[in-house]
């Protein structure tokens, strides 16, 4: 997900204000719950992003849906965003806070593409190897690309490790053309 600069700034300010310890864990649990709610409900995302819906209506919905569901710090954040007219960025801000937390904990985000779904034991083995490669824990997201013939394409930050069969065939072709094979 692409995150706007404005959302990153709000996320950074909010992340820097988070307490440490047990309270922080509760806050992140509430954020995860909030993320799941917004991720599963396009209607809710559109409702809060809509400039047509009056502030008072959004405030009522916020009260009804989230007052007793999230910890007070997160509810205060939601109210603040509503007052600042940034409620449409909520989903992005939450994503950015999670991203900042991973960086804070030294976790590297890794994207893995394969032709078909990988079994859990293969994922575990791959994540172990990637942790060795990066020198720390990794958080891997997996996706399927039916265009791949086989192999994997792994993105670690700005670096792409292309171990797909297509890429290997391209390399072999280039070697044949250059006469090196």
Write the pLDDT tens digit of every residue in 137-168. 888 888 888 878 778 888 887 788 877 787 88
At 180, the pLDDT band (50, 70, 90 cuts) reads low
List, in sequence order, the alpha helices (H) in 41-164. 42-49, 55-66, 72-83, 90-105, 120-134
How high is the pLDDT of residue 57? 93
Residue 42, CA distances (Å) to 37, 53, 91 in order: 9, 16, 11
Q: Which residues pair with 78 in a beta bridge?
A: none
Q: Is this prediction's pTM over 0.85?
A: no
Q: 78-105: per-residue pLDDT in tens?
A: 899 889 998 888 888 988 998 888 888 8
Beta-carbon count within 10 A of 16 CB: 8
Both structure tokens of 159: 């670096």
Both structure tokens of 110: 């890794």
């Amino acid at each position: 997900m692409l995150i706007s600069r404005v959302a990153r700034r709000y996320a950074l300010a909010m992340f820097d204000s988070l307490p440490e310890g047990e309270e922080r864990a509760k806050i992140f649990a509430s954020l995860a719950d909030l993320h799941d709610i917004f991720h599963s409900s396009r209607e809710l995302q559109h409702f809060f992003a809509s400039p047509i819906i009056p502030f008072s209506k959004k405030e009522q919905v916020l009260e009804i849906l989230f007052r007793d569901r999230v910890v007070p710090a997160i509810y205060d954040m939601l109210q603040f965003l509503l007052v600042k007219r940034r409620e449409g960025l909520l989903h992005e801000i939450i994503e950015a806070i999670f991203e900042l937390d991973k960086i804070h904990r030294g976790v590297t985000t890794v994207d893995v593409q394969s032709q078909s779904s990988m079994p859990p034991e293969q994922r575990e083995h791959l994540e172990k190897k990637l942790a060795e490669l990066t020198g720390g824990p990794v958080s891997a997201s997996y996706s399927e690309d039916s265009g791949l013939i086989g192999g994997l394409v792994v993105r670690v930050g700005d670096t792409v490790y292309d171990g797909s069969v297509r890429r290997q065939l391209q390399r072999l072709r280039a070697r044949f053309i250059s006469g090196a094979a």
